[in-house]
Amino acid sequence: MNTPILVTGGTGTIGRHVVRMLREANRDVRVLTRHPRESAEGLQHVAGDTVKGIGLAAALAGVETVLHLAGGAKGDDIAARHLVDAAKQAGVRHLVLVSVIGADRMPIGYFRMKAAAENAFEGSGIPFTILRVAQLHDFVLPIVRSMARMPLAPAPRGLRFEPVGVVEVARRLTDIALDAPAGHVADLAGPEVLDIADLIATFNESQGRRRRLLRFGLPGAIGRAYRSGDNLAGREAVRGDETWRHFLAARERDSALTA
Ligand X SMILES: NC(=O)c1ccc[n+]([C@@H]2O[C@H](COP(=O)([O-])OP(=O)(O)OC[C@H]3O[C@@H](n4cnc5c(N)ncnc54)[C@H](OP(=O)(O)O)[C@@H]3O)[C@@H](O)[C@H]2O)c1
Q: Which residues bind ligand X (CB under 6 A)?
A: 8-9, 11-15, 32-35, 48-51, 69-72, 79, 98, 100, 133, 135-136, 139
- Nearer to ligand X by C-beta: 155 or 187? 187
CB 14 within 8 A of CB 74: no
Least distance CB 151 / ligand X (angstroms):
28
Nearest to 215 by CA among 201, 233, 196, 237: 196
CB 91 within 8 A of CB 33: no
Nearest to 188 by CA among 136, 247, 111: 136
Nearest to 169 by CA among 209, 139, 194, 213: 139
Could you give the C-alpha distances from 137 to 73, 95, 191, in angstroms and in order?
Answer: 18, 26, 11
According to DSSP, residue 74 is labeled S
Query: What is the distance between the alpha carbons of residues 259 and 253, in angstroms, rounded to a whole number?
Result: 10
Least distance CB 47 / ligand X (angstroms):
9
- Nearer to ligand X by C-beta: 169 or 200? 169
Least distance CB 189 / ligand X (angstroms):
10
- Nearer to ligand X by C-beta: 49 or 122? 49
Least distance CB 10 / ligand X (angstroms):
6
- Find residue 6's DSSP bridge partners: 30, 66
- Find residue 136's DSSP bridge partners: 164
CB 33 within 8 A of CB 19: no
Least distance CB 108 / ligand X (angstroms):
12
Phi/psi-derived region of residue 55, left when phi > 0, alpha when psi is between -120 and 50, beta in every other case: left
- Nearer to ligand X by C-beta: 56 or 153? 56
Least distance CB 185 / ligand X (angstroms):
14
- Nearer to ligand X by C-beta: 124 or 135? 135
